[in-house]
DNA sequence: GAAAATATGGAGACCATCTCCATTTGTCAA
DNA sequence: TTGACAAATGGAGATGGTCTCCATATTTTC
């Protein structure tokens, strides 16, 4: 049953992938990230991503059958970076502080990449399964942070990390609100204060 | 400067609207609500809404130039019902309880209308401005509830109602998570506990 | 360096969206 | 009631984004 397939279905590895193929793939991802940051990703013809990256439409569709699958490739990079950060924090700070810092930094990060945030929010709501892989990784990081804080006794144990994910979801999804930054900070504040054992 | 335009740009009023026009409009909205509840609204051709409602595509497009504008019409009904509820609660309960009850009931309501919630969440993320009117009404209701609770001294005054909206946004947007109901309840718990004056 | 495997790109098929207008339906005054 | 005008209809067809297909080009292997 498809035994020897490598575990990591990552960007690298999995299949040798011919030289020109990898080059084109990377070109596409790079151009996509650019469009994400500009917030244009959903406003242009999908075919144009190919043109802008300097490849044919056929090539685009072979590497990324759907708009979402291309988005996933970019998203995965983002999430991986965030999770590395989470692990580093967890190693150097008390659990509660690590969680707080991570959440605050997350807002910073989204704030610094508005266009990207907008795009990802759209994706999350649109075709639910598209970001599944990347989202799972992020969720794992949050879950670990929360679990550690619970073990420390710094955080109540009757609400799961899922609630925190939902709140983050809201922060990302509401990217277009006028007072976004301040409100996002407030949400984090509410979540963190709410997480302390009540009374 | 466009002086005598009626204040209420509502479903009713505004313009007399011929008899058959109103009938068709209502047919479209009814069929749309049906599709919302089934969760199919974004999976079918927009033209098919017309066919299903028994009107021509031209009629559909005259009444609702975009898919989103049709959604807004349904959304508006939903929101209005919720806001009535909010006002009733505010009149009969202490502010803090009114807020808590409203938020809990909101989750109930979304839970009972999964398909509709899914659709609305998609809309929120997609074309930000589409639900503007309805969202503003809902936000006003939440803002009032929070403001009253703050006045009572039951709730801290250093975080705005916007944060609560964001959290709700997250709850709606994350409709497809496996443990949605439990997690949504947890988010409300976090928000409510976080809103009590810390320490 | 020749054959096999792999990848390319863009022309054109396909299909959802939206427009346009000849026709139908409703309204109102006489 | 009827005529005349305004309002609304509906669906055929233009438009334009998405995706497929395959003759050609490139890389790898032996």
Question: Count of residues for chain A?
Answer: 199
Q: What is the pLDDT of residues B70-104, one digit of tens each?
A: 998 988 888 888 899 999 999 999 999 999 999 99
Determine the protein residue whose CA lies at the shortest distance from the C1' of C9.
A56
Chain A residue closest to B117 (CA)?
Answer: A125
- Note down pLDDT in tens along chain A; length 199 residues: 333 333 333 344 467 889 999 999 999 999 999 998 888 898 899 999 999 999 999 999 999 999 989 998 888 888 888 899 999 999 999 999 999 999 999 999 989 887 777 776 777 666 656 667 778 888 999 999 999 999 999 999 999 999 999 999 899 888 888 899 999 999 999 999 999 976 5
**Element of type H or E holding B85:** helix B67-92
B163, B173, B198: residue with CB nearest A187 = B163
Predicted TM-score of the model (pTM): 0.85
Q: Identify the pLDDT of residue B194.
A: 96
**Which candidate, B172, B163, B191, B183, places its Cα nearest to that of A159?**
B183
A103 CB within 8 Å of a chain B CB? no
> Whole-angstrom Cα distance, residue A44 to residue A178?
25
CA distance B35 to B44: 9
- The closest CB to that of B170, out of A122, A166, A189, belongs to A166
Contact B190 A191 (CB under 8 A): yes
Distance in Å from the first CA to the final CA of chain B = 53
d(Cα A34, Cα A12) in Å, to the nearest integer?
21
- Cα of B18 to nearest chain A Cα, Å: 37
Nearest CA in chain B to A171: B166
**Is the CB of B176 inside 8 Å of chain A's CB atoms?**
yes
Whether any strand C atom is under 7 angstroms from the Cβ of A65: the reply reads no
Residues 6+ apart with CB under 8 A from B85: B102, B105
Whether the CB of A117 is below 8 Å from some CB of chain B: the reply is: no
């Amino acid at each position: 049953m498809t035994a020897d397939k490598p575990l990591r279905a990552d960007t690298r590895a999995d299949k040798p992938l011919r030289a020109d193929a990898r080059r084109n793939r990377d070109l596409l991802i790079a151009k996509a990230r650019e469009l994400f940051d500009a917030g244009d990703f959903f406003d242009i013809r999908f075919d144009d991503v190919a043109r802008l990256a300097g490849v044919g439409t056929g090539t685009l569709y072979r590497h990324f059958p759907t708009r979402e699958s291309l988005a996933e490739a970019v998203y995965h990079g983002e999430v991986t970076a965030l999770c590395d950060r989470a692990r580093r924090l967890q190693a150097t700070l008390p659990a509660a502080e690590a969680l707080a810092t991570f959440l605050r930094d997350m807002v910073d990060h989204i704030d610094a990449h508005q266009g990207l945030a907008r795009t990802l929010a759209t994706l999350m709501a649109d075709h639910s399964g598209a970001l599944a892989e990347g989202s799972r990784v992020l969720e794992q990081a949050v879950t670990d942070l929360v679990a550690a804080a619970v073990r420390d006794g710094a955080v109540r144990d009757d609400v799961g990390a899922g609630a925190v994910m939902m709140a983050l979801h809201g922060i990302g999804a509401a990217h277009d609100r006028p007072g976004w930054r301040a409100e996002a900070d407030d949400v984090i504040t509410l979540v963190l204060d709410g997480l302390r054992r009540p009374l």
